[in-house]
A and B are shown apart, each in its own frame.
Chain A
Amino acid sequence: MAAPDALQQPMELDLFEGPFDLLLTLVLRDEVDLLELPLLEVVTAALGERARERWDTETAGELIVLLAAMAELKARLMLGEPIDEEPDPDTLEARERLAARLIAYAPFPRAGAWLAERARASAGPRYRRVPLAGAAPPPTPRESPAPLRDAMRALLAAPPAPSLSHLTNRRVSVPEAVARLQGALARARSVSFDALTAGADRLEEAVTLMATLELARRGDVTLSQAEPFGDIAIVGRRR
């Protein structure tokens, strides 16, 4: 049989809301018509969406056996087959466990009914609920305030300013690169891009390329590249 926790899990179906074992009881007592009970809903509710987290393998296996039994019973009911009257020992044990649970819990609804009756019988009297003006004095501190002050002081101290040394603020401007390129072209008719950017870092190289393209757009230079990723020859146009 399934472990008690699995049997007691709450079920929320259209037809029924309550613990799983109560549903089983009601099915057994024909108070819930098995033919009207959507088994898929029962299976989904019993195993749940997170069955793997909720139940260990043994419990899940037992739940599945129980659900399979319900499915078989329903199938037989629908086919009109006679049902075997001989209960097996597992069923008897489950029934006895269920009975024990029902009997153990029975006092509490009764005690609840007693409380309800008690509340009805004593509903009349009203109490004065006006709080006294002037609250009770705060409790005298039992501990020295010094540790509290020290703790607070640590929180109030300004944290050291974070180091910004790893950040750089370098600016490379395209107009400057254009000017530099024009300077180079004034000295020589053709300039090699590789030579122009020898020793430059990636950012400078990129900006130099943009400057080159800018001059080509203006029509001041023509560019030629023999092969992909090869050197670019920048040739100034004579005016």
Chain B
Amino acid sequence: MTELARRLEALLFLSPEPLPLVALCELAEEPPGPVQRGLAELAERHGPEGGLEVAEVAGGYALRTRADLAEVCDRLRERPPEDRITPAGLETLAVVAYLEPVSRPEISRLRGVAADSTVVSLVERGLLEEAGRPAEGGAMRYRTTRLFQERFNLRGPGDLPPLERFELSGPEAQRVRTRLVEAGHLGDGAGGDGG
């Protein structure tokens, strides 16, 4: 194991949050190339047979426990660390993650239901944070946090599949229209009929 890898291991072990490559370079006083090689060496050292792994997550590198050890790790804690997120919470997170920074009224408009309490609870849980108000004034905007990236194992803020991947295909969109038309018994009344 190289001297650099030893230093990187020590840094990752101590750091309470993922360390970006830039920070590692500064702390280890080495250029990015050797640091990345050192990280690769470290990752190799912490192979599947060990209890730890080197992960690239939330904009940096972290030394974390391996997934299969979750149960034993959680015995160390007073309560399970990962509480469930409601479907409304997940939808709201998705809206913010793709459109950030975005305000509560904008989220509510898009979702068609008030998102205020959902946003508040996501902020309380550290998954969303305030991102300031627009220069021209207006409602507070929100963005996702590093904890969000860790929770969903994302490498950084933009590490999401393109939104287009989730769009309805032509036939699916057509099906939505057809359903509306098929169900459209209100036809006579909705526009105020003449008789």
Chain A residues close to B by CB (< 8 Å): 1, 4-5, 8, 10, 18-19, 21-22, 24-25, 27-30, 65-66, 68-70, 72-73, 83-91, 94-96, 98-99, 101-103, 105-116, 118-119, 121-132
Asked if B186 contacts A91 (CB within 8 A), the reply is: yes
Query: What are 21 sample pairs from A and B whose C-beta atoms fall under 8 A apart?
Result: A5-B109, A25-B183, A27-B186, A29-B179, A73-B188, A84-B187, A85-B188, A87-B190, A90-B192, A99-B177, A99-B180, A101-B112, A107-B168, A108-B91, A112-B87, A122-B151, A122-B152, A124-B65, A124-B66, A128-B15, A128-B63
Query: Can you name the residue of chain B whose Cβ is closest to the Cβ of A31?
Result: B183
**12 other contacts beyond A99-B176, A122-B153, A125-B67, with CB at 8 A cut-off?**
A18-B112, A70-B189, A95-B177, A109-B91, A109-B94, A111-B160, A111-B166, A112-B90, A116-B87, A123-B82, A126-B65, A132-B15
Q: Which residues of A contact B182 (CB under 8 A)?
A: 29
Asked if A25 contacts B180 (CB within 8 A), the reply is: yes
B62 interfacial contact with A, CB 8 Å: yes
The 5 closest A-B pairs by CB, nearest first: A124-B67, A90-B191, A87-B187, A69-B189, A122-B153
* A125 CA to B57 CA, complexed, in Å: 11
Given B85, B93, B152, B168, which contacts A106 in the complex, CB threshold below 8 Å?
B168
Nearest CB in chain A: distance from B103 CB, A: 15
Which range contains the number of B residues in contact with the other chain? 35 or more
* A111 CA to B93 CA, complexed, in Å: 9
Chain B positions 30 through 41: 1 when the CB is less than 8 Å from some CB of chain A, otherwise 0: 000000000000
SS of A interface (majority):
helix
Chain B positions 64 through 75: 1 when the CB is less than 8 Å from some CB of chain A, otherwise 0: 111111100110
Nearest CB in chain B: distance from A50 CB, A: 15
Asked if B14 contacts A132 (CB within 8 A), the reply is: yes
